[in-house]
Amino acid sequence: MSFEVPDDRKYMESHEWATNADDTAKVGITDFAQDELGDVVFVELPSEGDELTKDEEFGVVESIKAVSDLYSPVNGTVVAVNEALHDQPELVNDDPFGEGWMLEVELDDDSGLDELLSAGEYREQIE
């Protein structure tokens, strides 16, 4: 089975992605991760204003069969949360790189974004 791995973002080994915009990043989980989890039924996310630290837990995603911690790909401050996931957690399954996004983060100067995997490197990991 082949999974979507867009080239326009960067990845963590733990299957989160971050877009690479100027000073903000969108964060979510990958197509591979949603497939492994199965039907997502609950997503617990931080609030606007919360500070994230790279590699530390920022929330939880639950499928019918499993609970998984979410790890922040970057250092920064949450400026937006995808509230749609409260009522429609299945968006993570349906469109993990689009409508299923989780957070928007204002990046710190030392965001850590450069240390993430490229799409090619992540593709190698999941193959």
Interacting residue with other proteins among 13, 60, 79, 110 (CB under 8 A): 60
The answer to whether 57 contacts other proteins (rule: CB under 8 A) is: no
Size of the site for other proteins (CB under 8 A): 11
Q: How far is the CB of 93 from other proteins (least distance, A)?
A: 8
SS (H, E, C) the chain: CCCCCCCCEEECCCCEEEECCCCEEEEEECHHHHHHHCCEEEEECCCCCCEECCCCEEEEEEECCCEEEEECCCCEEEEEECCHHHHCCCHHHHCCCCCCCCEEEEECCCCCHHHCECHHHHHHHHC
Stretch that binds other proteins, among 8-16, 21-29, 40-48, 72-80 (CB under 8 A): 40-48
Q: How far is the CB of 40 from other proteins (least distance, A)?
A: 10
The answer to whether 56 contacts other proteins (rule: CB under 8 A) is: no
Stretch that binds other proteins, among 12-20, 59-67, 94-102, 117-125 (CB under 8 A): 59-67
Contact residues for other proteins (CB under 8 A)?
Answer: 38-39, 41-42, 44, 60, 62, 64-65, 67, 86
